[in-house]
Amino acid sequence: MTGAPVLLPDVVLPTLQGETAALRDPTASARLVVLYRHDCDVCRVVLPVIERVTRAFHGKKLLTLGVSLSDADATLDVINEHGLCFPQALDADRVVERALAVEQVPTIVLADADGLVVARCAGLDAAALTDVLIAAARLSGADEGEVRRAIEAFKLG
């Protein structure tokens, strides 16, 4: 990444379970944030990849958070359609979208333990998505081979 350092916004978003999710979490070694909309065809391709890859992060200190730019009902439809198990939050006020200057969905952002964005990608760029997810594996101590296999299973690009 180039330019001025970007931090995840220090916000707490409502989840669909009636709880909250902080974008910055001091217990995490890293945070993977996936911004998406329910009516985005590319998101429908990328979200299952993220779901499968997050299984490689299970038990690691990397937290994955889906941030929906859609309403709660549409977001529930996406969760059910793709069997998403990682937490989902709603960015109804577009705080995260604006803070991260999201121009295209899906946008996947990787931040370190301090909330500093260390990698990001947008759209359906298989190479960039792979780079972000491998960087996430390295930050969290997950098995890079397992992450690569999960990505390759979808034959993106």
The pTM of the full predicted model, rounded to 2 decimals, is: 0.93
Residue 29: predicted pLDDT: 86
β-pair partners for 68: 36, 90
Identify the pLDDT of residue 157.
Answer: 54
What pLDDT is attached to residue 156?
A: 64
pLDDT at res. 138: 92
Q: How would DSSP label each residue in 11-34? A: -EEEBTTS-EEESS-TT-SEEEEE
Taking only the tens of pLDDT, the chain with its 157 residues reads 457 889 999 999 999 888 999 999 888 889 999 999 999 999 999 999 999 998 888 778 889 999 999 999 999 999 999 999 999 999 999 999 999 999 999 999 999 999 999 999 999 898 999 999 999 999 988 889 988 888 887 776 5
- Asked if residues 120 and 107 have their Cβ atoms less than 8 Å apart, the reply is yes
